Amino acid sequence: DLTIADFKNKLELLTGSTAGNMKLEAYDRDNKLVCKLDDNNALLGSYPIDDGMIIHVVDPTIKVGEFEDLSKVEKFEISEEEYAKKSEKEKLLSHIRIMSVVALFIGVVSLVVGILVFVYLGGGKYPITTATGIWYAFMPLAFGIVGVLACRSTDEKTQGKLLGGHYTASIILVTMGYALATAIQGVETCATNSEKCGTHRDTQLALHIVLLCVILVGYILAVVSMCIHLKNRNILHPDWKYGRGCCGRKCEVEAQTA
């Protein structure tokens, strides 16, 4: 009870041809032509069609192999060298992502330790580590946040700026010798049962050791990060154009003054 016109409409989804351009032919199981379904108003059942037959769709507007020829399809092309750089950059970004997550973790730990040192002060006179734990925490947190944002960015220009910020954060993290000195001094003070550590000396000692480990991990992350940025500056920082003897100035500027 399906008209040929309605049947053609159903075949549009299967063939990609429009119903108006279709010419239908019915073939038996031996691939012999039985009839042509050329009356759009006729019912499909009015033709001598049986189960197992083949409906052949002819569309004169479509060329054979038109949809198989990929030469006319626009493609995004990239050289092997650029592809290799892109793959290498993805590996480097994965390393930066891992370091950034670790930095976020140690930043939170440093902040918590700084607060706990104050909570368990116990009348002691050594609250300086509280300040160290709190203000030092901001640097690993900044290092981690910028690194994660750089890895998630899809815009190359924005990503380049974030990677530059991540490298700068690495330098600042390395230069925090005061935090390391404070943590070492705190461990030494509490290990000798000094009155400066108050009545919770064991707790204070443990907290200072944790803070010392956090700062050491921060140093390691910063040094590794700097090595990755500098060693792979052509991939991570293609806009860096510094050469020997430039002393921080762009080579173009040096050439002009020369």
The per-residue pLDDT for 132 is 80
- Cβ atoms of 1 and 43 closer than 8 Å: yes
CA 132, CA 182: separation in Å to the nearest integer?
7
Burial label for 169, CB within 10 Å (0-12, 13-18, 19+), is buried
Residue whose token pair is 């991570």: 236
43: which residues sit within 8 A by CB, 6+ positions away?
A: 1, 2, 3, 4
- The tokens describing 173, both together, are 């993290």
The per-residue pLDDT for 130 is 63
Whole-model pTM: value is: 0.60
- The tokens describing 125, both together, are 């006179």
Q: DSSP 3-state assignment of 115?
A: helix
Residues of the chain with pLDDT under 50: 243-254, 258
CA 198, CA 176: separation in Å to the nearest integer?
27
81: which residues sit within 8 A by CB, 6+ positions away?
A: none
Candidates 63, 80, 81; CA nearest to 72 is 63
Strand partners, 125: none
CB atoms within 10 A of CB 29: 10
- Cβ atoms of 184 and 212 closer than 8 Å: yes
The per-residue pLDDT for 121 is 67
The per-residue pLDDT for 245 is 39
Q: Strands 54-58 and 23-27, how do they pair?
A: antiparallel
- Cβ atoms of 239 and 164 closer than 8 Å: no
Strands of the chain (E only): list them.
Answer: 23-27, 33-37, 54-58
